[in-house]
Amino acid sequence: MKGLSNSISPIFLLAILLLIPHSALSQPSSDYKYSPPARLSDGIQTGTLRSGKLDEAKVFAGMNEVLKRTYGNIHSVLIFRNGKLVCEEYFTGPDENNHKGEIGIVAHNRETLHDTRSISKSVVALAVLIAYSQGKIKDLDQPIFSYFPEYASHAEGEKKNITIRHALTMTPGLEWNEELSYSNPANTAYQMNRAPDTIKFVLSRKLVNKPGTKFEYSGGMTQLLAAIVKKATGSDIEEFTRKHLLTPLGITKYEWAELKPGQPDADSGLRLRSRDIAKIGLLLVNGGMWNGKRIVPQKLIADAMAEHAKVSSDEKTGDVVTYGYQIWRFTFRPDDNWPSGFIELSGNGGQKVVIDAKTKAMVVITAGNYDLTGLKKNSFDIYPDLVFSAMLDR
């Protein structure tokens, strides 16, 4: 969710979106034209909007809103129903690379690598679960300091009780603030990225809450998890995921940027194609299976998507946000015009994998709304607006 290089500022991005002719940022015509997704040899099954029981007119109207930039700078929208890809669209717009800065106007397509930002965190969590299923990690309730004897001096008091599970659920109790812009030096992640020793920086943070009692979003926890994977398996997070997750999913084209030489940026450095991002989501949907092959034990997938930490709740609306293993969970009060809930993999800029088990729908979105606040609508609204509202059988 953060960058080491200068990001496109929100003001500059808005200026680009307002000044560049509409034709340069979207399809040649403002009228959306649908074509069923191509059936490739990538293991993804395809269908049509009709076979997915989606109202074509409503989806078309929604895509026209995307073209009008109602949701900001959207780069791709992939819609799945009943496990099949029924709509796959790409859009042109300004973009950036988390570690290289601005890359200009990009005509995104099926082969374009895109920042996943904090969806990287969910991938790291899956790596931890795979290592655990292999017996390389013995216990998810094992204290994290047992992997870092070189930093034992920082394990004072209750800090010594912080476990791998606390890191997975972002409940270690350490002082941390990622609520600020990632270009703000006061952001703890900004400070971590520039610290000479990433792990020492994280483990040396002051304990402000009892471990396991309070959620605090922290990229530092993901960096710790990646370091634990390396300690337990002998492979860094890029090598381990390539061998045990990405390659088994048929993902061969990707980039994983380094935070420092020899240290992949675990919490936001992964770049994938949109259809490959979808494979991560489909692995969750299918309980850890991919095309008949077991990649992650079903019980661990269910545990990863379960509620482990409360993030927020609204007494007036009844809306609740909780957290699993580097996975978001949203629950909403009953409303015919809004889904009752879904889980989400999410990254800065509007990167989303939305999974609604009740409606058997999944949506993958990539976007370039990095560090941009104040949008009336954004990627989060695309699933309820464009997909849920179009379902003929809900």
**3-class SS letters over 36-68:** CCCCCCCCCCECCCCCCCECHHHHHHHHHHHHC
Do 328 and 369 lie in a common domain? Answer: yes
Domain-embedded: residue 200: yes
pLDDT of residue 335: 87
pTM of the model: 0.92
Q: What is the C-alpha separation between 77 and 62, in angstroms, rounded?
A: 11
Q: What is the pLDDT along the chain (394 residues), one digit of tens a residue?
A: 333 333 445 544 555 454 444 434 444 346 899 999 999 999 999 999 999 999 999 999 999 999 999 999 999 999 999 999 999 999 999 999 998 889 999 999 999 999 999 999 999 999 999 999 999 999 999 999 999 999 999 999 999 999 999 999 999 999 999 999 898 999 999 999 999 999 999 999 999 999 999 999 999 999 999 999 999 999 999 999 999 999 999 999 999 999 999 999 999 999 999 999 999 999 999 999 999 999 999 999 999 999 999 999 998 888 999 999 999 999 999 888 899 999 999 999 999 999 999 999 999 999 999 998 889 999 999 999 999 999 999 8
- Distance, in Å, from the CA atom of 176 to the CA atom of 204, rounded to the nearest integer, reads 11
* 127 and 165 housed in the same domain: yes
| Residues 233 and 131: beta-carbon distance below 8 Å | yes
Note whether residue 76 is domain-resident: yes
Integer Cα distance of 207 and 172 in angstroms: 8
For residues 63 and 173, membership in a common domain is answered with: no
Q: Which residue shows structure tokens 């104040």?
A: 374
Q: Is residue 233 part of a domain?
A: yes
What domain count does the chain have?
2
pLDDT at 53: 98
Residue 7 lies in a domain: no
Measured CA to CA in angstroms, residue 84 lies from 45, 119, 275, 279, 284 at distances of: 5, 21, 12, 11, 14
- Which pLDDT score is estimated for 30? 62
Task: Look at the alpha carbons of 117, 119, 123, 129 in this order and tell me if their dihedral is positive or negative.
Answer: positive
Domain presence at residue 296: yes
Which tokens in the block code for residue 341?
Answer: 């809930």
Q: In this structure, are 43 and 78 located in the same domain?
A: yes
Q: Domain containing 146 — which CATH number?
A: 3.40.710.10
* Residue where a domain terminates, one of 240, 264, 288: 264
C-alpha atoms less than 13 angstroms from C-alpha of 94 in its C-beta half-sphere:
23
Residues 222 and 327 in one domain: no
CA pair distance 5, 79, nearest whole angstrom = 32
Q: Residue 89 phi/psi, 5° resolution?
A: -130, 145
Closest Cα partner for 370 from 357, 351, 388, 387?
A: 351
Last residue within a domain, chosen from 237, 264, 291: 264
**213 is a domain residue:** yes
Both 28 and 82 in one domain: the answer is yes
State whether 383 and 340 are in the same domain: yes
Q: Tell me: do 83 and 215 sit in the same domain.
A: no
- Residue carrying structure tokens 């993999």: 345
Q: Note whether 194 and 321 are same-domain residues.
A: no
- The reply to whether 381 and 282 lie within a common domain is yes
List, in order, residues 6 or more apart from 21 with CB less than 8 Å away. Answer: none
**Do 132 and 167 belong to one domain?**
yes
Stated as kind and residue range, the H or E segment containing 107 is: strand 101-107
Give residue 194's domain range. Answer: 119-264
- Which among 245, 264, 283 is the end of a domain? 264
Residue 61 belongs to domain with CATH number: 3.40.710
Question: Considering only CA atoms, which of 345, 352, 316, 308 is closest in space to residue 333?
Answer: 316
Say if 2 falls within a structural domain: no
Residue 383 is assigned to a structural domain of this protein: yes
Instruction: State how far the alpha carbon of 226 is from the alpha carbons of 103, 138, 198, 221, in Å.
Output: 28, 16, 11, 9
Q: How far apart are CA 216 and CA 169, in angstroms?
A: 9
pLDDT for 354 equals: 98
Q: Judge if 74 and 210 occupy the same domain.
A: no
